[in-house]
Structure 1
Amino acid sequence: MFLNSFGTNGFLLLAAFLLFSGIIVAKFSSRWGIPSLILFIMVGMVTGSDGLGLVYFHDAGTAQIIGVFALVIILFEGGLHTKWATVKSVALPSLSLATLGVLITSLLIGFSAYFLFNFSLLEGMLLGAIVGSTDAAAVFAALKERNIKAKMGATLEAESGTNDPMAVFLTLSLIELIAANDGSIWTMIPTFFVQMGLGLLFGLAVGKIGSLSINNIRLDSSALYPILSVAFALITYSITAFAGGSGFLAVYVAALVIGNSELTYRYSIFQFNEGFAWMAQILMFIILGLLVYPGQLFTAEIMGNGFLLAFILIIVARPVAVFLSLIKMNYTVKEKIFISWAGLRGAVPIVLATFPIVEGLEASRDIFNIVFFIVLSSALVQGSTISNFANKLELVGKKKDVPHHSIELISMGKAQAEMIQFQTNRESAVVGKKLHEISFPNRANISAIIRENRVITPYGETEIKEGDFLYILVEAAYKERLKKVLEERVPRPETGVDRDTDKDD
């Protein structure tokens, strides 16, 4: 309605309004203790046809395309920031949660929907498959800058980054069975292993090619390197999907490879992708909110069914799946309880819920509305209480020290030099030494030191302290020598003041 009346100008004004709304929502969501995805969705619902009537949107196919594109960007950004050493330490439990955990959750919710409501067995299983996986966008956003114990954060992020293939496989297989009204899901099991295998293979290959390309291709503008990284994310998903593999898994694996490689223009790439992921998240949730009709969603039947299934998911299905998936995997009962509680549902279930609508299945709209209500309940109840839950279970780690200063890190490709950032910790060998006592390479110069959000001008007698951010300009040929100096460790006794509550990780 709005777009039809005002055309291009109206579209641009609406886009600006939605982006401004998303930014304001993102700023106040943490202050209010409400997950940002809830508020993004509300912006879409308010501006939709059942709200202010600014946009009339009912195209599930378009919403599906936008959702998949946004998930690729969000997964890629999450993978870039994930340390391989951290993922490796929780690889087995995360894989178990991403496969067996999703299957158990889907079966329990599927049988619940079948026995409690007017769904056929296959329709109930389809609903269970759609909500079976945790959501990367929701988990990454919920854990970002929170001081959750490192082991817990790594497990949840690795699980959410790798469990989409199982949910997608189950969803598409059940849609095919319902649409064809024959066949057996057992004949499709080999397809799952093919999708997982190809996803891993393509992710590793494209990730390696991507990191080599970023480091060796000389582009005229440094602004092109972040765009090149996004191009690799999109091509990773596309070629893997065309080959019959899991595009989502491939994107996450490729991002892991690229993010854990030595990159030129690293800071620019990371900052661009973080901003782009925020924009994708805002766009995706608002579009999904537009697809919802509050008049259909907030009915006694949908709310009752949705709330009951959300309760079963949060209190029964997810904990059962977690405890069974993590048998004999060195997790305490408290840790399993926290992982159960932090299994957030978000954009992935809503995007998957558009698939039955696109295929024209009979119960598709009821499934979509119930899934939407489950996601709202999960995000609102679980997402807003993660930090408090971790505190109650004594699963908080060291407070994340995120720099808020504005020194710009640069990589000067033609000059073969780079400005790098390094934060010292208790065991850094350089801590306690004066600059003139440190054997930095001749071609490396400390440009600035950030200490407690203050800029320290470095000179020979400046002493390095724990927690300092060092900004060092170094020629590319001397970067490895500089790394050896910075990464040298000296074990130091812990003090009562600085004791690390996360030392078992």
Structure 2
Amino acid sequence: MFFYSFGNDGVIFLAAFLLLSGIVAAKFSSRLGLPSLVLFIAVGMMIGRDGLGLIYFDNVELAQLIGIFALIIILFEGGLQTKWETVRSVAFPSISLATLGVLTTALLTGVSVYLVLDVSWLEAFLFGAIVGSTDAAAVFATLKERNIKAKMGATLEAESGTNDPMAIFLTLMFIELIANESVSIWLMIPSFFWQMGLGLALGLMLGKIALFAINRINLESGGLYPVLAIAFALITYSTASAIDASGFLAVYVAALVIGNSELTYRYSIFQFNEGIAWTAQIMMFIILGLLSFPEQVFQPSNIFAGLVISFVLIFLARPFAVFVSTVWLKYSFKERLFLSWAGLRGAVPIVLATFPIVAGIEGAEEFFNIVFFVVLTSALVQGSTISNVAQKLGLMGPKKDTPHHSIELVSIAKANAEMVQFQTNRHNAIVGYKLHEIDFPQKASIAAIVRGDDLVTPYGDTEIKAGDFLYILVSKRKHDELMKLLNEKNKTKNKK
């Protein structure tokens, strides 16, 4: 990596410029109808060797490390934000898509690669494995601000969060088969189940350990709790990878455990992770953009091969894989069509495309350039039309409602109290009642109510309405009692 005529100050300024460019790209991506990842990659390509020439970057190993690190952060943030109730309802179809779906996509895409490129069957299936999985970074970023129905969004997010093990396993398997002809494919299959099973188990265990530590430890500064959470995410990945388990799956499962449990400094942790996930995403895609050289990516032969493979992947392989993976499941034809169209490719295929280069596979650079083109095609064609397709198929959900205010004590741990945020819905027993009519636990006090864009000052005669965000200051000893009251359903409601 070489910065032309830049000293330390110039490097710092360039880093700031890249982050600001990414933020501006994220701001205008929705207005332009493009996924933000496309603009991030464009920034990288623009300042690279074939653009403005500010940076020459060709360190594949470093790009791979940055990509893996960023994916850990992105998966962790995605898992924290995912509701277990929603994921549980789509767990089986997501796992089916993450395993059978990836395998089917890889094999069908491999056939097209064999017909288009002058490669062996093993090399063709290696390419199919590289582009076989949907990408968590692309899916999370694309769906974050779109009002897709919860079932569809949860299926896609859970699939993208759990399908990396299959793609990584297939990629490494075909690399090993190409490099060592004496290796038996049948001896490698058990390692996949080891990776998946142990990754799941470690994610559950380390998620519980992280949750216990975060809630029990008394840190001097509240700002250290989000750092502690990130540290556990990195520990989870490295521990799983050290014993040949799936680190990505372990991180996602651990985040699900943490995010769906009672958590000290919940909103500080969530907000910090959202910010650092955006930073990781910006830097990862810019680095991947730097790693690509437009003169090589956009050669006529690569464009032709990339368009053919993209067509097969988007319109044939992915739809067939979705229909096969969900044939016995309760998904309508329109829902299957949407799942087929929303199978975005992103950072994971590009990062996986660096594996054959590092392994010294012949022709790996050509594979990287075509994979890069396929990812761009997927992001441009599928990513920019997800909302329109969902609307045409009648799969748009209600507008996402997120709080515009955040209240949290500076010294929660020392005060032995916490600020609970709770959003009501029409099923909650407290909805429709005035505050003085609700039997809140002792040492629990309503600090604020956020209703839409308005901050409502709570009085005894203030009525709770569906959709309200309640901020309640409560003693930790009374926390469970408060949550039981808040979660009580209206079918058992009695006036206090």
TM-score, structure 2 as length reference: 0.97
Residue 45 of structure 2 corresponds to which residue in structure 1?
45
Q: How far apart are residue 355 of structure 1 and its match?
A: 0.7
Tell whether the 8 Å contact from 2:4 to 2:55 is kept in structure 1 after alignment. no
Letter in 1 for 2:206: V
> Which has the larger displacement, 121-130 or 5-14?
5-14
Does residue 490 (structure 1) correspond to residue 490 (structure 2)? The answer is: yes
Partners of 1:482 and 1:76 in 2: CA distance: 28
Q: Deviations over 1:43-71 (max 9, x none)?
A: 00001011101100001100000000000
1:120-147 CA distance string (max 9 Å, x none) = 1111111000000000111111111322
- Match for residue 215 of structure 2? 215
Name the structure 2 match of 1:198. 198
CA separation of 1:2 and 1:128: change in aligned 2, threshold 3 A: closer
Amino acid in structure 1 at the alignment position of 2:81: H
d(CA) in 2 for partners of 1:411, 1:54? 46
The CA deviation string for residues 156-201 of structure 1, in whole angstroms up to 9 with x for no partner, is 1111000000000000111111122442322210111111111111
Assess if the C-alpha contact under 8 Å between 1:40 and 1:285 holds in 2.
Answer: yes
Q: Is the 8 A contact 2:267 2:406 kept in 1?
A: no
CA contact under 8 A between 1:420 and 1:472: conserved in structure 2?
yes
Structure 2 distance, partners of 1:489, 1:398, is 22
Q: Describe the superposition over 1:220-246 as per-residue Cα deviations: whole angstroms up to 9, x where unpaired.
A: 111111111111100111011110111
Does the Cα contact within 8 Å between 2:240 and 2:246 map onto a contact in 1?
yes
Moved more, 47-56 or 419-428: 419-428
Q: Which runs of 5+ in 1 are unaligned?
A: 493-505
- Aligned twin of 2:244: 244
Distance 2:85 2:189 in 1: 31
1:311 aligned partner: 311
Instruction: Quote the Cα distance in structure 2 between the aligned partners of 1:90 and 1:320.
Output: 19
Deviates more, 1:285-294 or 1:422-431: 422-431
Q: Partner of 2:156 in structure 1? A: 156
**Residues 202 and 240 in structure 1, CA contact (< 8 A), matched pair in contact too:** yes
CA distance in 2, matches of 1:411, 1:261: 21
Task: Give the whole-Å Cα distance in 2 for the aligned partners of 1:181 and 1:377.
Answer: 34
Partner Cα distance (1:46, 1:107) in 2 = 34
Residue equivalent to 1:292: 292
Deviation (angstroms), 1:271: 0.8
Question: Once the 2 structures are TM-superposed, how far is the Cα of residue 217 of structure 1 from its aligned partner?
Answer: 1.0
Matched to 1:162, the amino acid is T
Cα 1:409–1:140 change in 2 (3 A) is: farther
Residue type of the alignment partner of 1:434: K
Match in the other structure for 1:449: 449
Alignment of 1:460-475 (within 5 A): 460-475=460-475
User: Could you tell me which residue of structure 1 aligns to residue 126 of structure 2?
Assistant: 126
Distance (Å, rounded) in 2 between the aligned partners of 1:410 and 1:105 = 50
The answer to whether the 8 Å contact 2:4/2:54 transfers is: no
Structure 2 residue 405 is the aligned partner of structure 1 residue 426: no
Deviates more, 1:6-15 or 1:104-113: 6-15
**Residues 305-341 of structure 1, C-alpha deviations (whole Å, 9 max, x = no match):** 1011111100000000000010111111111000010
| C-alpha separation in 2, matches of 1:411 and 1:251 | 29
Deviation string for 1:446-498 (max 9, x for gaps)? 11111121111111111112211111111111111111111112259xxxxxx
Residue 348 of structure 1: aligned partner: 348
CA distance in 1, matches of 2:280, 2:26: 13
* 1:92-139 Cα shifts (integer Å, max 9, x gaps): 111110000000000001111012221111111110000000001111
Partner of 2:71: 71
Over 3 Å counting, the alpha-carbon distance change for 1:420 and 1:410 in structure 2 is farther
**8 Å CA contact retained: 2:407, 2:419:** no
Task: Give ranges in structure 2 of 5+ residues lacking alignment.
Answer: none
The answer to whether the Cα contact below 8 Å between 2:408 and 2:418 also exists between their aligned partners in 1 is: no
What CA distance in whole angstroms lies between the structure 2 residues aligned with 1:378 and 1:208? Answer: 37
* AA in 1 matched with 2:207: G
In the comparison of the two structures, how many residue pairs are matched?
Answer: 492
Rounded Cα–Cα distance in structure 1 between residues aligned with 2:460 and 2:184: 73
TM-score, scaled to structure 1: 0.95
1:384 paired with 2:384, answer yes
Where does residue 282 of structure 1 map in the other structure? 282
Query: Is 2:27 aligned against 1:24?
Result: no
Q: 1:262 to 1:407 in 2, by over 3 A?
A: closer
Q: Which amino acid aligns with 1:121?
A: W
- DSSP-derived class of the 2:447 partner: strand
- CA positional deviation for 1:280: 0.4
Report Cα offsets for 1:373-418 as digits up to 9, x if no partner.
1110111111111111111111122221112235456660011111
Change (3 A) 1:427 1:410: farther
Cα distance in 1 for residues equivalent to 2:480 and 2:167: 42
Q: Matches of 1:115 and 1:174 in 2, distance apart?
A: 18
Superposition deviation, residue 4 in structure 1: 4.8
Tell me, yes or no, if structure 1 residue 481 matches structure 2 residue 466: no
Structure-2 change in CA distance of 1:2 and 1:186 (3 Å): closer
- CA RMSD, aligned part only? 1.4
Give me the whole-angstrom Cα distance separating, in 1, the residues matched to 2:328 and 2:192.
25
Aligned counterparts of 1:116 and 1:372: Cα–Cα separation in 2: 17
Letter in 2 for 1:344: L
1:123 touches 1:363 (CA, 8 Å); kept in 2?
Answer: no
Equivalent residue letter for 2:349: P
Instruction: Indicate the residue corresponding to 2:231 in structure 1.
Output: 231
State the alpha-carbon separation in 1 of the partners of residues 396 and 428 from structure 2: 23
CA distance in 2 between partners of 1:372 and 1:234 (Å)? 27
Which contiguous aligned blocks of 4+ residues in structure 1 show a shift greater than 4 angstroms? 406-411
Q: Which amino acid aligns with 1:116?
A: V
Question: What's 1:109 paired with?
Answer: 109
- In the alignment, residue 269 of structure 2 is paired with which amino acid? I
Distance 1:226 1:121, change over 3 A: same
Indicate yes or no: 2:165 matched with 1:187.
no
Which deviates the most, 465-474 or 37-46? 465-474
Of stretches 205-214 and 181-190 in structure 1, the one that deviates more from structure 2 is 181-190
**Separation in 1, partners of 2:84, 2:189:** 29
Return the offset for 1:5: 1.6
Determine the structure 2 residue equivalent to 1:57.
57
How far apart are the structure 2 equivalents of 1:410 and 1:100?
48
1:181 & 1:363 partners in 2: Cα distance?
Answer: 18
